[in-house]
Structure 1
Amino acid sequence: MNSLKIERQNGNVPKSVAGEDHVSGFIAYLAEAEIPDGFKTEHVQAVSTINTAEKLGITDTANSWSVKVLHYQLSEIFRINPSISLYVGIFTKPTDYKFTEIKTVQNFANGRIRQMALWCGDKAFDADDLTAIQGVADALDAENAPLSILYAPQVTAIGELPTNVAGANQYRTSVVIAQAGSGIAAELYAAEANQTAKASVSAVGVVLGLVSAAAVHQSIGWVKNFPTGVNVPAFSDGTLYRDIDKALIEQLDAGRYLFFVTHVGQAGSYMNDSHTMDSAISDYAMIENVRTMDKAVRGIRTYLVPELGGNIYVDAETGKMQAYSISHLETTANKALEDMEKAGELSGYRVEIDPDQNILSTSEVEIIIRQVAVGVMRKIKVKIGFAQTA
């Protein structure tokens, strides 16, 4: 009998979204012999789909355990956010980590990267790492290429992690200690060759996917919007979340680490919060605050740079800046913030310019901008009881 059979194929065509909030980076450090062929000459590549990664030599059948982990991380990133624009950097494992490769990848992307993950599965966590990473990030910020960094080090004993390393303006770094306790991640962790000090598989790919998928003002801890898709949450030492004492969970959260948690009545797992390693009382204690400010700064710069070298008119009688010159600059500085407010990324803003500034002497105009952030509801308190009437 005659017949026609059509089979649907998934071409994994990369999706495109507006803006650049989703532009991300991923760095891994491998032994020289383990570096995939596609990264041996050019250590940084744009990777739009898992198919692209596989063509570059990042496969789940590789002889290298680390390359298999890298394939898993990228698969998780694309699972969470198929629309991500991703730059992957694979570098030879250094004897002394300076993390300057962050700048290498950011420069390759022409400063477009907004968030980046560092997988260092066999490098034990060290507080000095945070200082080094923040230093590179600060240098990029000074070059108008700010970004947030998710750092995934080796964790051999979750109870031995220091909980007093947050602070000192480490607001561009977050430490991920999450791992999936089942599926591919658990299989990879079990297969890790060093049985005494196992390298961590980590779930930094999941976290990067969540950050890149979230609007800049949104917390990745939002239960309704950002499930992890990990059914059995664990930590980077293989310990399951359900086996950890609540006191240690609270201690790790207070230490500002990122990991998976569960909620009674909700299936799956979620992020404990969106901490950076800055002080808990800092304006930049959460990733969404850093991303929101970075977006505002990038936008304001885009509109104000063309004004450099332009004329400012002065009232001949008072010496003050003319009102129409002030109005023009305020309107120009407002544009990026107006767009962000319309998108729900800011609650409000205000731009002010003092007309008494002596522009003729200094050739400098000071603009003061105040932003009102969007709040995040981290706790809900409900009072309930019986009453004679409603």
Structure 2
Amino acid sequence: MQSLTFERTNGNIPRKLAGEDHISGIMFYMDTLPSGFTETERIKAISQIETAEKLGITADAEEWSIRLVHYQLSEIFRINPAISLYVGIFPKAEGANTYADTKKMQNFAGGRLRQLGIWEGDVAFSKESLTALQGVAATLEGQDMPLSILYAPKVAAVASLPTDVAGDKERVSVIIGQAGSSTGATLYADEDNTTAKASVSGLGVLLGIVSLASVHESPAWIEKFPAGIDVPAFGDGTLLTALDRAVVESLDAARYLFFVTYSGLSGSYLNDSHTMDNATSDYAYIENVRTMDKAVRGIRTYLLPKLGGNVYIDKSTGQLQTHSVEYLQTTAQKALEDMEKAGELSGYVAEIDPDQNVLATSEIEIVIRPVGVGVVRCIKVKIGYAESV
């Protein structure tokens, strides 16, 4: 009998997100290049896993490192199918890594990367690496291309990780968790070097969640961002359930990122959204850094065209005229107004002291104070019997 049948396919049209908060990059330090990459073309824009597979990044590749890349990209697209992603593969560093390739990634993306994952799972974690990463991120910030770095080093022994490395590294977060089951665990078991295994890492999951979250949202929001990892583990293969609670708490206090479970709740989640800054810093969490970065980028967009323009002075007082002050304040606040409407800020104010001698200095100082959005990290409930209510 004649027939006409249809088979619906999925994944051919990448989703699109508004804005640029989801634009991300991921870098791998490894010596094997997939077939679609060359020595002179080490960075590719990849919008879906099918594109990666056409470039030779496959789940059944002979090289373990290429299978690892496929796994990380699959996790990213599982969490956030609409991510705009740049993938870079660079040779392993000889000696201490300066992470100069971070600048190559950001420049290739036209300065639009908001977050960058870096996999270096066969290089032992060190404080020097964090310092170098913060340094290159600070350089990019000075060039008006700020980003957050999500770093995945080798975890040789999770219980022996240093707990005193955090401080003054607000642009770096360190992921030490990985999957203890399914593909992640299989990859870890298949790693060739049995005496010094590389960490697989849950970097793809973390990058997917961060890129999906609005800038003011914590990636550890339980209700909104499940990790999708059935059995949480650490980079040395140790399962979360096998680690003493005191050790887990010390790792959290040391500001590492990993996956946790909660009694009575299915699934796994990020323990928090720490950066490697001081716990008391305004930039102690990823959402703090991303929100301020967005505010700065927006303010810059509106104020930059005003350079070289005129302002007017009150001839009697020598102060800035009121209309010049109000005009600049309104201009500086436009981006923050949009962020407040989007729920990314609780409020803001921009102030200009009119008593500035612009004729002498050609400089105007604007003080901007955005009010952030709070994140609930602890809920305390008091409960007890009562004779009546």
Once residues 275 and 12 of structure 2 are traced to their aligned partners in structure 1, the CA distance between those partners, rounded to angstroms, is 33
After superposition, the C-alpha distances for 1:131-166 in whole angstroms (9 at most, x for unaligned) are 000000000000000000000001111011001000
Question: Secondary structure of 2:265's match?
Answer: coil
1:278 aligns to 2:277 (yes or no):
yes
Check whether the contact 2:11–2:48 (CA below 8 A) recurs between aligned residues: no
- Alignment partner, residue 174 of structure 2: 175
Question: Secondary structure of 2:348's match?
Answer: strand
Question: Secondary structure of 2:120's match?
Answer: strand
Once residues 261 and 317 of structure 2 are traced to their aligned partners in structure 1, the CA distance between those partners, rounded to angstroms, is 65
How do residues 33-48 of structure 1 correspond to structure 2 at under 5 angstroms?
Answer: 34-40=32-38, 41-48=40-47
Structure 1 segments (4+ residues) deviating >3 Å: none
1:112 aligns to 2:137 (yes or no):
no
Question: Secondary structure of 2:320's match?
Answer: coil
Check whether the contact 2:219–2:272 (CA below 8 A) recurs between aligned residues: yes
- Alignment partner, residue 155 of structure 1: 155
Once residues 207 and 124 of structure 1 are traced to their aligned partners in structure 2, the CA distance between those partners, rounded to angstroms, is 20
**1:37 Cα offset (Å):** 2.2
After superposition, the C-alpha distances for 1:269-290 in whole angstroms (9 at most, x for unaligned) are 0000000000000000000000
**1:2 Cα offset (Å):** 3.1
After superposition, the C-alpha distances for 1:48-104 in whole angstroms (9 at most, x for unaligned) are 111111111111111110110000000000000001000111011111211110110
- Alignment partner, residue 371 of structure 1: 370
| Percent of pairs with identical residues | 63
**1:265 Cα offset (Å):** 1.2
Once residues 191 and 146 of structure 1 are traced to their aligned partners in structure 2, the CA distance between those partners, rounded to angstroms, is 37
How do residues 66-105 of structure 1 correspond to structure 2 at under 5 angstroms?
Answer: 66-96=65-95, 97-105=97-105
Unaligned runs of 5+ in 1: none
How do residues 197-216 of structure 1 correspond to structure 2 at under 5 angstroms?
Answer: 197-216=196-215
How many residue pairs get aligned? The number is 387
Amino acid at match of 1:212: S
Once residues 329 and 351 of structure 2 are traced to their aligned partners in structure 1, the CA distance between those partners, rounded to angstroms, is 7
Question: Secondary structure of 1:349's match?
Answer: coil
Amino acid at match of 2:238: T
- Alignment partner, residue 166 of structure 2: 166
Once residues 62 and 90 of structure 1 are traced to their aligned partners in structure 2, the CA distance between those partners, rounded to angstroms, is 16
Deviates more, 1:334-343 or 1:52-61: 52-61
Question: Secondary structure of 1:306's match?
Answer: helix
How do residues 1-390 of structure 1 correspond to structure 2 at under 5 angstroms?
Answer: 1-31=1-31, 34-40=32-38, 41-96=40-95, 97-167=97-167, 169-390=168-389
Kindly report the root-mean-square deviation, in angstroms, between the aligned alpha carbons of the 2 structures: 0.7
Question: Secondary structure of 2:340's match?
Answer: helix
Once residues 159 and 195 of structure 1 are traced to their aligned partners in structure 2, the CA distance between those partners, rounded to angstroms, is 19
**1:14 Cα offset (Å):** 1.1
Question: Secondary structure of 1:119's match?
Answer: strand
Amino acid at match of 2:107: N
**1:197 Cα offset (Å):** 1.2
Once residues 75 and 13 of structure 1 are traced to their aligned partners in structure 2, the CA distance between those partners, rounded to angstroms, is 16
Unaligned runs of 5+ in 2: none
Amino acid at match of 2:35: D
Once residues 267 and 196 of structure 1 are traced to their aligned partners in structure 2, the CA distance between those partners, rounded to angstroms, is 34
Once residues 14 and 137 of structure 1 are traced to their aligned partners in structure 2, the CA distance between those partners, rounded to angstroms, is 30
**1:4 Cα offset (Å):** 2.4
Amino acid at match of 1:276: T
Amino acid at match of 2:286: I
